[in-house]
Protein backbone atom coordinates (compact mmCIF):
# COMPACT_ATOMS: atom_id res chain seq x y z
CA UNK A 1 0.00 0.00 0.00
CA UNK A 2 1.15 3.56 -0.76
CA UNK A 3 2.22 5.69 2.22
CA UNK A 4 -0.47 8.21 3.23
CA UNK A 5 -0.41 11.83 2.07
CA UNK A 6 -1.62 14.75 4.16
CA UNK A 7 -4.48 16.86 2.81
CA UNK A 8 -5.36 20.14 4.54
CA UNK A 9 -8.75 21.82 4.14
CA UNK A 10 -9.40 25.23 5.71
CA UNK A 11 -12.92 26.40 6.44
CA UNK A 12 -13.50 22.71 7.14
CA UNK A 13 -16.63 23.36 9.23
CA UNK A 14 -18.24 25.39 6.43
CA UNK A 15 -20.59 24.49 3.58
CA UNK A 16 -17.99 23.72 0.93
CA UNK A 17 -15.95 21.78 3.47
CA UNK A 18 -18.95 19.59 4.23
CA UNK A 19 -19.37 18.58 0.61
CA UNK A 20 -15.65 18.23 -0.06
CA UNK A 21 -14.18 16.38 2.89
CA UNK A 22 -16.16 13.18 2.49
CA UNK A 23 -15.31 12.86 -1.18
CA UNK A 24 -11.59 13.41 -0.51
CA UNK A 25 -11.83 10.80 2.26
CA UNK A 26 -13.44 8.30 -0.11
CA UNK A 27 -10.52 8.53 -2.54
CA UNK A 28 -12.26 10.47 -5.28
CA UNK A 29 -9.59 13.18 -5.40
CA UNK A 30 -6.33 11.22 -5.19
CA UNK A 31 -7.43 7.74 -6.22
CA UNK A 32 -8.73 4.57 -4.58
CA UNK A 33 -5.21 3.37 -3.68
CA UNK A 34 -4.01 6.55 -1.97
CA UNK A 35 -4.45 6.66 1.83
CA UNK A 36 -4.92 10.13 3.31
CA UNK A 37 -4.47 11.90 6.62
CA UNK A 38 -7.05 14.69 6.79
CA UNK A 39 -5.99 18.01 8.30
CA UNK A 40 -9.18 19.93 9.01
CA UNK A 41 -8.61 23.56 9.90
CA UNK A 42 -11.09 26.19 11.00
CA UNK A 43 -11.40 29.16 13.37
CA UNK A 44 -11.73 28.68 17.16
CA UNK A 45 -15.50 29.41 17.17
CA UNK A 46 -16.07 26.61 14.63
CA UNK A 47 -14.35 23.83 16.61
CA UNK A 48 -17.57 22.37 18.05
CA UNK A 49 -19.11 22.10 14.57
CA UNK A 50 -15.85 20.68 13.22
CA UNK A 51 -15.94 18.03 15.92
CA UNK A 52 -19.32 16.97 14.54
CA UNK A 53 -17.77 16.61 11.07
CA UNK A 54 -14.97 14.50 12.56
CA UNK A 55 -17.52 12.17 14.19
CA UNK A 56 -19.25 11.73 10.83
CA UNK A 57 -15.95 10.92 9.09
CA UNK A 58 -15.27 8.32 11.78
CA UNK A 59 -18.76 6.88 11.23
CA UNK A 60 -18.10 6.47 7.52
CA UNK A 61 -15.29 4.01 8.36
CA UNK A 62 -13.42 5.10 5.21
CA UNK A 63 -10.76 2.50 4.31
CA UNK A 64 -8.37 5.21 3.05
CA UNK A 65 -8.46 7.55 6.06
CA UNK A 66 -5.36 6.93 8.16
CA UNK A 67 -5.79 9.83 10.55
CA UNK A 68 -7.65 13.07 11.22
CA UNK A 69 -6.12 16.26 12.60
CA UNK A 70 -8.87 18.78 13.48
CA UNK A 71 -7.50 22.08 14.72
CA UNK A 72 -7.63 25.87 14.94
CA UNK A 73 -3.83 25.95 15.24
CA UNK A 74 -2.42 26.42 11.74
CA UNK A 75 1.11 25.34 12.74
CA UNK A 76 -0.37 21.93 13.59
CA UNK A 77 -2.85 22.13 10.72
CA UNK A 78 -0.25 22.58 7.98
CA UNK A 79 2.48 20.37 9.47
CA UNK A 80 3.98 18.24 6.65
CA UNK A 81 0.91 18.79 4.47
CA UNK A 82 1.18 17.72 0.78
CA UNK A 83 -2.05 19.22 -0.58
CA UNK A 84 -4.00 22.22 0.72
CA UNK A 85 -7.47 23.32 -0.33
CA UNK A 86 -7.90 26.78 1.14
CA UNK A 87 -11.64 27.26 1.38
CA UNK A 88 -11.92 29.36 4.55
CA UNK A 89 -12.31 33.07 3.87
CA UNK A 90 -14.26 35.99 5.21
CA UNK A 91 -17.53 36.30 3.29
CA UNK A 92 -18.68 39.66 1.99
CA UNK A 93 -20.97 41.21 4.61
CA UNK A 94 -23.83 43.64 3.95
CA UNK A 95 -22.57 46.96 2.61
CA UNK A 96 -19.01 45.69 2.36
CA UNK A 97 -16.98 46.97 -0.61
CA UNK A 98 -14.63 44.73 -2.58
CA UNK A 99 -11.73 46.72 -1.12
CA UNK A 100 -12.85 45.88 2.46
CA UNK A 101 -13.18 42.23 1.49
CA UNK A 102 -9.65 42.28 0.07
CA UNK A 103 -8.29 43.79 3.27
CA UNK A 104 -10.04 41.36 5.62
CA UNK A 105 -8.94 38.38 3.57
CA UNK A 106 -5.49 39.87 3.14
CA UNK A 107 -4.91 39.38 6.86
CA UNK A 108 -6.13 35.77 6.75
CA UNK A 109 -4.02 34.78 3.74
CA UNK A 110 -0.88 36.58 4.97
CA UNK A 111 -1.07 34.56 8.17
CA UNK A 112 -1.82 31.29 6.40
CA UNK A 113 1.09 31.89 4.02
CA UNK A 114 3.50 32.14 6.94
CA UNK A 115 2.20 28.93 8.49
CA UNK A 116 2.45 27.06 5.20
CA UNK A 117 5.98 28.34 4.61
CA UNK A 118 7.12 27.28 8.07
CA UNK A 119 5.34 23.95 8.38
CA UNK A 120 4.18 22.34 5.16
CA UNK A 121 5.94 19.73 3.06
CA UNK A 122 8.21 21.40 0.47
CA UNK A 123 6.25 19.72 -2.33
CA UNK A 124 2.87 21.11 -1.20
CA UNK A 125 0.33 21.88 -3.92
CA UNK A 126 -2.15 24.61 -2.94
CA UNK A 127 -5.48 25.68 -4.43
CA UNK A 128 -7.19 28.78 -3.08
CA UNK A 129 -11.00 28.60 -3.23
CA UNK A 130 -11.97 31.35 -0.74
CA UNK A 131 -12.78 34.61 -2.50
CA UNK A 132 -11.42 36.83 -3.93
CA UNK A 133 -9.36 33.73 -4.71
CA UNK A 134 -6.85 35.10 -7.27
CA UNK A 135 -5.69 37.95 -5.07
CA UNK A 136 -5.88 35.87 -1.88
CA UNK A 137 -3.47 33.48 -3.59
CA UNK A 138 -1.17 36.36 -4.56
CA UNK A 139 -1.03 37.50 -0.92
CA UNK A 140 -0.43 33.95 0.28
CA UNK A 141 2.34 33.19 -2.22
CA UNK A 142 4.10 36.41 -1.29
CA UNK A 143 4.77 34.94 2.18
CA UNK A 144 6.44 31.86 0.73
CA UNK A 145 10.20 31.86 0.83
CA UNK A 146 11.35 28.35 0.02
CA UNK A 147 8.59 26.51 -1.80
CA UNK A 148 8.28 27.02 -5.58
CA UNK A 149 5.82 29.84 -6.40
CA UNK A 150 4.18 27.72 -9.08
CA UNK A 151 2.81 25.45 -6.32
CA UNK A 152 0.32 28.22 -5.39
CA UNK A 153 -2.81 28.38 -7.53
CA UNK A 154 -6.43 29.52 -7.39
CA UNK A 155 -9.62 27.90 -8.61
CA UNK A 156 -11.37 28.78 -11.85
CA UNK A 157 -12.34 25.18 -12.52
CA UNK A 158 -15.93 25.78 -11.44
CA UNK A 159 -16.24 28.49 -14.11
CA UNK A 160 -14.65 26.07 -16.59
CA UNK A 161 -17.08 23.27 -15.65
CA UNK A 162 -20.04 25.64 -15.85
CA UNK A 163 -18.97 26.77 -19.33
CA UNK A 164 -18.51 23.17 -20.43
CA UNK A 165 -22.05 22.28 -19.38
CA UNK A 166 -23.64 25.28 -21.12
CA UNK A 167 -21.81 24.47 -24.35
CA UNK A 168 -22.66 20.77 -24.20
CA UNK A 169 -26.32 21.63 -23.63
CA UNK A 170 -26.33 24.08 -26.54
CA UNK A 171 -24.66 21.62 -28.93
CA UNK A 172 -26.64 18.59 -27.76
CA UNK A 173 -23.60 16.55 -26.70
CA UNK A 174 -22.24 15.25 -23.40
CA UNK A 175 -20.02 17.54 -21.29
CA UNK A 176 -17.07 15.18 -21.81
CA UNK A 177 -17.39 15.70 -25.59
CA UNK A 178 -16.56 19.41 -25.21
CA UNK A 179 -12.82 20.09 -25.38
CA UNK A 180 -10.40 22.97 -25.84
CA UNK A 181 -12.26 25.62 -23.90
CA UNK A 182 -10.76 27.66 -21.09
CA UNK A 183 -11.30 30.47 -18.63
CA UNK A 184 -8.90 33.39 -18.77
CA UNK A 185 -8.48 35.91 -15.96
CA UNK A 186 -10.08 36.60 -12.61
CA UNK A 187 -12.62 34.41 -10.84
CA UNK A 188 -15.17 37.22 -10.90
CA UNK A 189 -17.76 38.53 -13.34
CA UNK A 190 -14.89 39.73 -15.60
CA UNK A 191 -13.72 36.16 -16.25
CA UNK A 192 -13.33 35.29 -19.93
CA UNK A 193 -14.69 31.95 -21.17
CA UNK A 194 -12.62 31.33 -24.33
CA UNK A 195 -14.21 29.00 -26.87
CA UNK A 196 -12.67 29.89 -30.24
CA UNK A 197 -10.82 26.55 -30.48
CA UNK A 198 -13.66 24.42 -29.08
CA UNK A 199 -14.23 20.92 -30.35
CA UNK A 200 -17.27 18.69 -29.80
CA UNK A 201 -16.73 14.97 -30.34
CA UNK A 202 -13.27 15.85 -31.73
CA UNK A 203 -14.63 18.14 -34.45
CA UNK A 204 -14.30 21.90 -34.50
CA UNK A 205 -17.54 23.35 -33.11
CA UNK A 206 -18.90 26.86 -33.33
CA UNK A 207 -21.84 28.66 -31.78
CA UNK A 208 -23.24 31.97 -32.93
CA UNK A 209 -21.65 35.11 -31.54
CA UNK A 210 -24.94 36.61 -30.40
CA UNK A 211 -25.62 33.58 -28.19
CA UNK A 212 -22.07 33.85 -26.82
CA UNK A 213 -22.39 37.49 -25.78
CA UNK A 214 -26.07 37.59 -24.79
CA UNK A 215 -26.61 34.18 -23.24
CA UNK A 216 -23.49 32.06 -22.74
CA UNK A 217 -21.11 34.50 -21.02
CA UNK A 218 -23.79 36.07 -18.76
CA UNK A 219 -25.10 32.60 -17.78
CA UNK A 220 -21.64 31.36 -16.77
CA UNK A 221 -20.90 34.61 -14.93
CA UNK A 222 -24.19 34.67 -13.03
CA UNK A 223 -24.61 30.96 -12.35
CA UNK A 224 -23.58 31.29 -8.68
CA UNK A 225 -26.18 33.99 -8.05
CA UNK A 226 -28.84 31.94 -9.86
CA UNK A 227 -28.14 28.94 -7.62
CA UNK A 228 -28.33 31.07 -4.48
CA UNK A 229 -31.71 32.37 -5.68
CA UNK A 230 -33.00 28.85 -6.28
CA UNK A 231 -31.53 27.09 -3.24
CA UNK A 232 -31.34 30.02 -0.80
CA UNK A 233 -27.85 28.63 -0.19
CA UNK A 234 -24.63 28.96 -2.19
CA UNK A 235 -23.31 26.50 -4.74
CA UNK A 236 -21.16 24.63 -2.24
CA UNK A 237 -21.33 21.14 -3.79
CA UNK A 238 -20.21 22.21 -7.26
CA UNK A 239 -17.51 24.46 -5.77
CA UNK A 240 -16.19 21.52 -3.69
CA UNK A 241 -16.34 19.28 -6.76
CA UNK A 242 -14.34 21.77 -8.83
CA UNK A 243 -11.68 22.14 -6.11
CA UNK A 244 -11.21 18.36 -6.20
CA UNK A 245 -11.10 18.36 -10.01
CA UNK A 246 -8.39 21.04 -9.87
CA UNK A 247 -6.13 18.89 -7.68
CA UNK A 248 -6.91 15.62 -9.51
CA UNK A 249 -5.97 17.14 -12.87
CA UNK A 250 -2.83 18.73 -11.37
CA UNK A 251 -1.75 15.30 -10.12
CA UNK A 252 -2.94 13.05 -12.97
CA UNK A 253 -2.57 15.41 -15.93
CA UNK A 254 -4.84 16.63 -18.70
CA UNK A 255 -6.22 14.38 -21.42
CA UNK A 256 -4.10 14.35 -24.61
CA UNK A 257 -5.43 17.03 -26.97
CA UNK A 258 -7.33 18.93 -24.28
CA UNK A 259 -6.58 21.61 -21.71
CA UNK A 260 -8.08 22.87 -18.46
CA UNK A 261 -8.21 26.16 -16.56
CA UNK A 262 -6.10 27.04 -13.52
CA UNK A 263 -5.31 30.44 -12.02
CA UNK A 264 -1.51 30.44 -11.74
CA UNK A 265 1.31 32.97 -11.38
CA UNK A 266 1.51 34.71 -14.78
CA UNK A 267 4.77 34.27 -16.68
CA UNK A 268 3.79 37.13 -19.02
CA UNK A 269 1.97 34.93 -21.56
CA UNK A 270 -0.81 36.70 -23.53
CA UNK A 271 0.46 40.07 -22.28
CA UNK A 272 -0.66 39.41 -18.70
CA UNK A 273 1.60 41.24 -16.21
CA UNK A 274 4.07 38.82 -14.61
CA UNK A 275 3.21 37.55 -11.15
CA UNK A 276 -0.56 38.19 -11.23
CA UNK A 277 -2.53 35.07 -10.32
CA UNK A 278 -4.37 34.70 -13.60
CA UNK A 279 -6.42 31.89 -15.07
CA UNK A 280 -4.94 30.42 -18.24
CA UNK A 281 -5.59 27.39 -20.40
CA UNK A 282 -3.04 24.85 -19.18
CA UNK A 283 -1.96 21.34 -19.97
CA UNK A 284 -0.62 19.23 -17.11
CA UNK A 285 1.92 16.41 -17.27
CA UNK A 286 3.83 14.69 -14.43
CA UNK A 287 2.40 17.13 -11.87
CA UNK A 288 3.59 20.23 -13.78
CA UNK A 289 1.34 22.63 -15.64
CA UNK A 290 2.24 24.70 -18.72
CA UNK A 291 0.29 27.53 -20.32
CA UNK A 292 -1.11 26.66 -23.76
CA UNK A 293 0.68 29.09 -26.06
CA UNK A 294 -0.33 30.68 -29.33
CA UNK A 295 -4.12 30.59 -29.10
CA UNK A 296 -5.51 33.21 -31.50
CA UNK A 297 -7.00 36.15 -29.59
CA UNK A 298 -9.65 38.05 -31.59
CA UNK A 299 -10.33 41.75 -30.94
CA UNK A 300 -13.50 40.62 -29.09
CA UNK A 301 -11.48 38.46 -26.70
CA UNK A 302 -8.68 41.02 -26.39
CA UNK A 303 -11.24 43.56 -25.14
CA UNK A 304 -12.45 41.10 -22.50
CA UNK A 305 -8.89 40.16 -21.51
CA UNK A 306 -7.96 43.82 -21.03
CA UNK A 307 -10.88 44.24 -18.59
CA UNK A 308 -10.04 41.21 -16.46
CA UNK A 309 -6.32 42.16 -16.43
CA UNK A 310 -7.23 45.68 -15.29
CA UNK A 311 -9.42 44.32 -12.51
CA UNK A 312 -6.63 42.10 -11.19
CA UNK A 313 -4.09 44.92 -11.39
CA UNK A 314 -6.52 47.12 -9.40
CA UNK A 315 -6.95 44.34 -6.82
CA UNK A 316 -3.19 44.02 -6.54
CA UNK A 317 -2.84 47.79 -6.09
CA UNK A 318 -5.47 47.71 -3.31
CA UNK A 319 -3.38 45.25 -1.27
CA UNK A 320 0.04 46.46 -2.37
CA UNK A 321 1.10 47.22 1.23
CA UNK A 322 0.68 43.51 2.07
CA UNK A 323 3.16 42.51 -0.63
CA UNK A 324 6.05 44.49 0.83
P1 LIG B 1 -18.42 28.35 2.13
O2 LIG B 1 -17.78 27.08 2.54
O3 LIG B 1 -19.74 28.29 1.42
O4 LIG B 1 -17.44 29.27 1.24
C5 LIG B 1 -16.11 29.48 1.60
C6 LIG B 1 -15.40 30.35 0.59
O7 LIG B 1 -15.43 29.74 -0.69
C8 LIG B 1 -15.99 31.74 0.42
O9 LIG B 1 -14.92 32.66 0.34
C10 LIG B 1 -16.71 31.63 -0.89
O11 LIG B 1 -16.73 32.87 -1.58
C12 LIG B 1 -15.81 30.69 -1.65
N13 LIG B 1 -16.40 30.14 -2.87
C14 LIG B 1 -15.73 29.93 -4.03
N15 LIG B 1 -16.52 29.45 -4.97
C16 LIG B 1 -17.74 29.34 -4.43
C17 LIG B 1 -18.99 28.90 -4.93
N18 LIG B 1 -19.17 28.50 -6.16
N19 LIG B 1 -20.03 28.88 -4.10
C20 LIG B 1 -19.89 29.29 -2.83
N21 LIG B 1 -18.72 29.72 -2.32
C22 LIG B 1 -17.66 29.75 -3.10
O23 LIG B 1 -18.59 29.30 3.40
P24 LIG B 1 -19.03 29.00 4.88
O25 LIG B 1 -19.33 30.36 5.48
O26 LIG B 1 -20.02 27.90 4.99
O27 LIG B 1 -17.70 28.44 5.54
C28 LIG B 1 -16.53 29.16 5.66
C29 LIG B 1 -15.75 28.57 6.80
O30 LIG B 1 -14.47 29.15 6.75
C31 LIG B 1 -16.33 28.88 8.19
O32 LIG B 1 -16.41 27.65 8.90
C33 LIG B 1 -15.29 29.81 8.81
O34 LIG B 1 -15.15 29.61 10.19
C35 LIG B 1 -14.06 29.38 8.07
N36 LIG B 1 -12.88 30.23 8.02
C37 LIG B 1 -11.70 29.58 8.23
C38 LIG B 1 -10.51 30.21 8.19
C39 LIG B 1 -9.27 29.41 8.42
O40 LIG B 1 -9.37 28.21 8.51
N41 LIG B 1 -8.09 30.01 8.51
C42 LIG B 1 -10.44 31.66 7.90
C43 LIG B 1 -11.72 32.25 7.65
C44 LIG B 1 -12.89 31.55 7.69
P45 LIG B 1 -17.97 33.90 -1.51
O46 LIG B 1 -17.85 34.60 -0.18
O47 LIG B 1 -17.72 34.79 -2.68
O48 LIG B 1 -19.22 33.09 -1.62
CA distance 120 to 75: 9
Whether the CB of 224 sits within 6 Å of ligand 1: yes
39 alpha carbon to ligand 1 midpoint, in Å?
A: 17
Three-state SS at 205: coil
pLDDT value, residue 100: 85
**Residues, the chain, total?**
324
Ligand 1 nearest atom to the CA of residue 45, by list position: 34
Nearest-CA residue for atom 32 of ligand 1: 14
Whether the CB of 159 sits within 6 Å of ligand 1: no
φ, ψ dihedrals at 296, nearest 5° = -70, 130
pLDDT value, residue 324: 79
* Chain center to CA of 184: 13
Torsion of CA 141, 146, 151, 153, to 10 degrees: 0
pLDDT value, residue 97: 80
pLDDT value, residue 91: 86
Whether the CB of 315 sits within 6 Å of ligand 1: no
210 alpha carbon to ligand 1 midpoint, in Å?
A: 35
Interface pTM, i.e. ipTM: 0.95
pLDDT value, residue 94: 81
pTM exceeding 0.90: yes
Whether the CB of 113 sits within 6 Å of ligand 1: no
Judged by phi (left if over 0) then psi (alpha if -120 to 50, else beta), residue 103 lies in alpha
pLDDT value, residue 98: 77
Whether the CB of 106 sits within 6 Å of ligand 1: no
Name the residues annotated as catalytic.
187
Whether the CB of 189 sits within 6 Å of ligand 1: no
303 alpha carbon to ligand 1 midpoint, in Å?
A: 31
CA distance 279 to 220: 15
CB atoms < 10 A from the CB of 75, how many?
11
Each residue's pLDDT expressed in tens, for the chain with a length of 324 residues: 899 999 999 999 999 999 999 999 999 999 999 999 999 999 999 999 999 999 999 999 999 999 999 999 999 999 999 999 999 999 888 878 878 889 999 999 999 999 999 999 999 999 999 999 999 999 999 999 999 999 999 999 999 999 999 999 999 999 999 999 999 999 999 999 999 999 999 999 999 999 999 999 999 999 999 999 999 999 999 999 999 999 999 999 999 999 999 999 999 999 999 999 999 999 999 999 999 999 999 999 999 999 999 999 999 999 999 997
DSSP H helices in the chain? 15-26, 47-60, 74-77, 98-119, 133-142, 157-171, 209-211, 217-231, 236-252, 299-318
CA distances from 313 to 91, 99, 110 (A): 22, 13, 19
Ligand 1 nearest atom to the CA of residue 77, by list position: 40
160 alpha carbon to ligand 1 midpoint, in Å?
A: 20
Nearest-CA residue for atom 9 of ligand 1: 130
Instruction: Judge whether 149 and 203 are in contact, CB under 8 Å.
Output: no
pLDDT value, residue 87: 98
Residues contacting 138, CB < 8 A, separation 6+: 275, 276, 277, 316, 319, 323
Q: What spatial distance separates the first Cα and last Cα of the chain, rounded to whole Å?
A: 45
Whether the CB of 322 sits within 6 Å of ligand 1: no
Ligand 1 nearest atom to the CA of residue 239, by list position: 18
pLDDT value, residue 96: 81
Ligand 1 nearest atom to the CA of residue 46, by list position: 34
pLDDT value, residue 93: 80
Amino acid sequence: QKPPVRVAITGAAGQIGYSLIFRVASGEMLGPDQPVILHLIDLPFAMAALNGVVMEIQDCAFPLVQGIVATDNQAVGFKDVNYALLVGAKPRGPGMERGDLLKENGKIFTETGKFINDNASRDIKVVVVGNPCNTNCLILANQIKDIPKENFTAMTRLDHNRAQYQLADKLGVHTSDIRKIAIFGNHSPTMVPYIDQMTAKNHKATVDQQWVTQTFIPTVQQRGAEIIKARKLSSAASAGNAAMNHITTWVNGTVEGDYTSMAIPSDGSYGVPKGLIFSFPVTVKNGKYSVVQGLPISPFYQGLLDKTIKELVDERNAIDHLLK
